Structure 1
Amino acid sequence: MKNLFLSTAMLLSVVCFGQKPDVAVGKATYQYIHIRDTTNRDKPYKETMALLLGRNASVYRSVTKQQQEEEMANQVARQVKSAPDPNHLALTITGPGPVSTDEYYQYINNKKLYVEEQVINYYLTEEPLPTIKWAIKPDTMSFGTLHAQKATTRFKGRDYTAWFCTELPFHNGPWKLSGLPGLIVEAYDAKKEVVFKFMGFEDVSKLNQTILPPADDIKTTPQDLARLKEARVKDPAGFSKAAHGGGQQRRNTNSFMSSIDPSKIASINIVKSTSDNNRINNNPIELPEKK
């Protein structure tokens, strides 16, 4: 397995990431609803997502993932603080539920899409920003105080309806959706198997949040990353062992846990997550086009 991992890693190509940091001025929040398990349609996968928007760039990522990590940190902090013996810690932690780990960076002016994926380590791939052929319709709809217009398209194997708001002068949208003359505030496919439901928009210009992929991401290509994933499928345990120790900051690791002396931890009990989401995904968001 070690040789397989090393030979696969050698295929990783350096992608020239020349984009400049952008400062976020707005944030749109969505409820992402996806029927991932077609044998259990009455229990769709649900997750809160955020689209952080700058003048040129945006990043779409999971809010639920961040909330889970913060709650795990709080659980550990409370137990350490109240422990009768700080040198003999017995910790109980609620395990995380299924969440989206991928992050999507759209650069509208440069027509680039960068996707950060976690395969033990964090990898960053570059591809052209999708050119989506939208058909703008006369239909309108209000989302609170925002007025939106309808557009339709065929994209990644699905027929989508999107509602865009010209009052919000961004050409971005959730996931890989983009290219309309206003922010995409809501979108869904014809079967309502994939839904990006609008939850709100806020001005974040005073927070000084930067939009730029982490500097320690490993740059590669979609093709080479696919080979790496194949290596993981063939031998998950061996892959995990070989992939650790890459020098990356473990951004998903509980930061409070990393500050505790491991010799003081007597036991860690992981309680099953209370999330309703299951891990089955037989209906991926991207489908092959019919020939």
Structure 2
Amino acid sequence: MKFIIFFLGISTFCFSQKLSFIYETKYKLNSENPDEVNSDKMILDLKDNISIFRDSVEKQADSSKLNNGKEIFKMGVENQFYVKKNLSQKRVEKVITYLRTDYLLPIEEILDWKITSEQKMIGKYQSQKAETNYGGRNWIAWFTTELPFSDGPYIFNGLPGLIVSIQDSNNDYSFNLIEVKKGGNLFDARTKTIKIDWTKYEALAKSYFNDPFNLNSRGWKTVTFTDPTGKTVDISVKNKEFQNNILQDNNPIELNHKVIYK
């Protein structure tokens, strides 16, 4: 392992200031159509070793929620990327929002980084290669000590500098830094959570699969809806459509926690 001086470039950034790192995130969910690539802008807000990683829409939703505005109603359980980190306490947690309830899922898998001597320029940053395993995938990361923060996109952290690029070896998921903003806005609108583990996560996912519109808990037996053409359709048809989509989107980032639906 080749060690790098952590404090290189520390004069450029102050640890106590708020920063936002914007990542272009690309991911493939549908194994039957591997050419279908989803792309989102996701934001890592960081201050004093506390960070939140979420997509730009969720950050707007959090802001709205704190100001008593309109909330986003999440349908499904899988493929959510919202992550909170406390780097000083080495605590990493996913937040899964489902039916207006926020569930806190601790990430206890340890990242065992192997830092190599390979270096290259990524954008304007001199970066160094590192590799690790997480979620049943092999990951290749590039970090820079010019941004002296031991953090990165999603759950990834623990390197002697910010991760500017990381992707799995199958190229199913990738996170690439595209912008750095000083004076970022770090706020947490999801503090009232229910703690779960991966077993409970799977139960939630299967509950959604079996009853996407949460009709059973409401005591509704039959429901119809009207499509854009004015045609009335039984809800069971819509349920089947949702279930087919879930079965097709069978390439989660945590492959070792892939839900098997029956």
TM-score bin, normalised by smaller chain? 0.5 to 0.7
Q: Structure 2 residue aligned with 1:50, among 28, 43, 47?
A: 43
**CA root-mean-square deviation:** 3.5
8 Å CA contact retained: 1:54, 1:211: no
Q: Which residue of 1 aligns with 2:238?
A: none
Q: Percentage identity across aligned positions?
A: 25
Is 2:209 the counterpart of 1:233?
Answer: yes
Q: Structure 2 residue aligned with 1:194, among 173, 177, 183?
A: 173
How big is each residue's C-alpha offset from its partner over 1:203-260, in whole Å with a ceiling of 9 and x where there is no partner?
12xx5x3343523444444443443333333323335864xxxxxxxxxxxxxxxxxx
**Which 5+ residue runs of structure 1 have no aligned equivalent?**
1-21, 71-95, 243-268, 271-277
Is 2:39 the counterpart of 1:39?
Answer: no
Q: Which residue of 2 aligns with 1:210?
A: 186
8 Å CA contact retained: 2:25, 2:41: yes
Q: Which residue of 1 aligns with 2:251?
A: 283
Q: Which residue of 2 aligns with 1:158?
A: 137
8 Å CA contact retained: 2:62, 2:188: no
User: Alignment length, in residue pairs?
Assistant: 208
Q: Which residue of 2 aligns with 1:149?
A: 128
Distance 1:197 1:210 in 2: 20
Distance 1:26 1:66 in 2: 14
Q: Which residue of 2 aligns with 1:125?
A: 104
Residue identity in the other structure for 2:115: I
Structure with bigger gyration radius:
1
8 Å CA contact retained: 2:20, 2:43: yes
Distance 1:143 1:240, change over 3 A: farther
SS at match of 2:148: coil
SS at match of 2:207: helix
How big is each residue's C-alpha offset from its partner over 1:159-203, in whole Å with a ceiling of 9 and x where there is no partner?
111011112121111111111111111001112111112212121
Distance 1:174 1:188 in 2: 11
Distance 1:24 1:285, change over 3 A: farther
User: 1:100 deviation in Å?
Assistant: 6.2
Distance 1:38 1:222, change over 3 A: closer
Residue identity in the other structure for 2:253: I
Distance 1:23 1:128, change over 3 A: farther
8 Å CA contact retained: 1:51, 1:58: yes
TM-score by length of 1: 0.61
TM-score by length of 2: 0.67
Q: Which has the higher contact order (CA 8 A, sep 6+)?
A: 1
8 Å CA contact retained: 2:45, 2:186: no
Distance 1:69 1:41, change over 3 A: farther
SS at match of 2:200: helix
Distance 1:157 1:123, change over 3 A: same
Residue identity in the other structure for 1:33: K
Residue identity in the other structure for 1:48: K
Distance 1:143 1:200, change over 3 A: farther
Distance 2:215 2:206 in 1: 10
User: 1:42 deviation in Å?
Assistant: 2.1
